[in-house]
Amino acid sequence: MPRKYIKKSNIESVNCEKLFAAIKLVKGNTPKSIRSAAESFNLSHATLIRYLRKIEIHFSEAEGIFADISDDELLNFLKSNSALGAKPLFTEIQEQAFVEYIINCSKMNFGLTINNIRCLAYEYAKKCSIEYPVGWDKSGKATKDWYYGFMKRHGNLSLRRPELISANRRNGFRKETVAEFFTNLGAVLDGSSVRTTSHLEFRRNRLFNSSQRR
């Protein structure tokens, strides 16, 4: 199965914003008929009926309960149920939390590899009690198809190859070189290597760090 699916039909996904607005019209304080609300946003009334039934099943809606559903909950539900084809494994909120975790690891200089992310996704799915493919249990990690789909959905993530340190910087960070630097720094701070006149004395507030880049 190709990772980049090429669409073969002219069927389009339902516009979540239009669907959300139509549902609010039907269930609002001054409710409109389903057909009228659908026509207001150029939607099929059958589509609107189908999603209203989905909402009733998902939220176990009784009379008057719809008002307790927040706009964010309703919109997230519509987004996760209106896409054509295979649905994302995690919800939008769960995926965002996963993305933030990956970014935080990177900021702590603990970048994750492809294999790390796949293993974490498997553990995350088990922790969230999400139904995942059976193959994940066999390998103990998510599939590569899931990984590439996940990365495609989140363009702010990227996989980078570690860069080598130059020979000069590597040699300059040896134990002997660092020890010599701090020995010289201590001598400067103590004033033993310079004249202790007021205008030549090196105080801590007169130390500056210059960039090594040119």
Q: Which residue has the higher pLDDT, 117 or 167?
A: 117
Looking at the structure, tell me whether residues 111 and 146 fall in a common domain.
yes
Please report the pLDDT score of residue 184 as a whole number.
82
For residue 125, give its domain range: 92-153
Please report the pLDDT score of residue 62 as a whole number.
43
Q: What is the pTM of this model?
A: 0.50
Please report the pLDDT score of residue 5 as a whole number.
60
Residue 55 lies in a domain: yes
Final residue of a structural domain among 43, 63, 82: 82
Smallest Cα–Cα separation from 102: which of 153, 157, 54? 157
Q: Which residue has the higher pLDDT, 75 or 99?
A: 99
Per the prediction, the chain carries an average pLDDT of 78
Q: Which of 50-59, 63-72, 127-136 has the highest mean pLDDT?
A: 127-136
Distances (CA, A) of 201 to 105, 121, 210: 43, 58, 20
What DSSP designation does 112 have? Answer: -
Q: Which residue has the higher pLDDT, 213 or 100?
A: 100
Residue 10 lies in a domain: no
End-to-end, the C-alpha distance of the chain in Å comes to 50
Output the CA torsion 198→199→200→203 (10° steps): 70
Looking at the structure, tell me whether residues 145 and 171 fall in a common domain.
no
Please report the pLDDT score of residue 69 as a whole number.
77
Structure tokens at 7: 């669409």
Please report the pLDDT score of residue 7 as a whole number.
60
Please report the pLDDT score of residue 66 as a whole number.
66
Residue 213 lies in a domain: no
Structure tokens at 92: 């939008």
H helices within the chain, ranges in order? 16-27, 34-40, 45-59, 71-82, 92-107, 114-127, 135-139, 144-153, 167-171, 175-190
Residue 214 lies in a domain: no
Q: How far apart are CA 95 and CA 140, in angstroms?
A: 19
- In the predicted structure, residue 172 carries a pLDDT above the cut 90: no
- In the chain, the number of structural domains is 3
Residue type, 54: K
Residue 63 lies in a domain: yes
